[in-house]
Amino acid sequence: MTLEAGICPNGHVSYPTHPRCPECGEPQEETMDLSDERAEVVTWTTSTATPPGVREPNTMAIVEFDISHLDLEDTFVRALGQVTSDDVETGDVVEPVYVEELRDPDVGLKSGNPESQEWGGYRWDPV
């Protein structure tokens, strides 16, 4: 599974992808996979009041992927996600790791039909 960011013709990058670039409105016709890249924690928080089926406590972080080595207008792209550990600090380096279930498919609004939704995704794992 890929961790796709969208790229518009003007070199703006956003995660997740959008039909149109949030910066300029042009179609996002290209993508880049961030799943093999490392990122830096910009900020983080731990939630102790989570939705049904989500682990508690749930540590989340906004991370920044450095894409300055690419010939694009943007030099970084940010993403929000769960962290694999409660031991995380601003400035930590993380890498995305795929998990089969970000939440329990047997709990919550879609619990009667778990096949109707994708339950897997990426968490940030401190390096």
Going by C-alpha positions, the residue among 102, 104, 110 that lies closest to residue 3 is 102
- What strands, in cross-sheet order, belong to the sheet with 4-7? 13-14, 4-7, 30-33
Q: What is the pLDDT of residues 36-45, one digit of tens each?
A: 999 999 999 9
Mean pLDDT of all residues in 13-23 = 96
Q: What is the pLDDT of residues 97-125, one digit of tens each?
A: 999 888 877 776 655 665 666 678 999 99
Contacts of residue 25, defined as CB under 8 A and 6 or more positions apart, other chains included, come to none
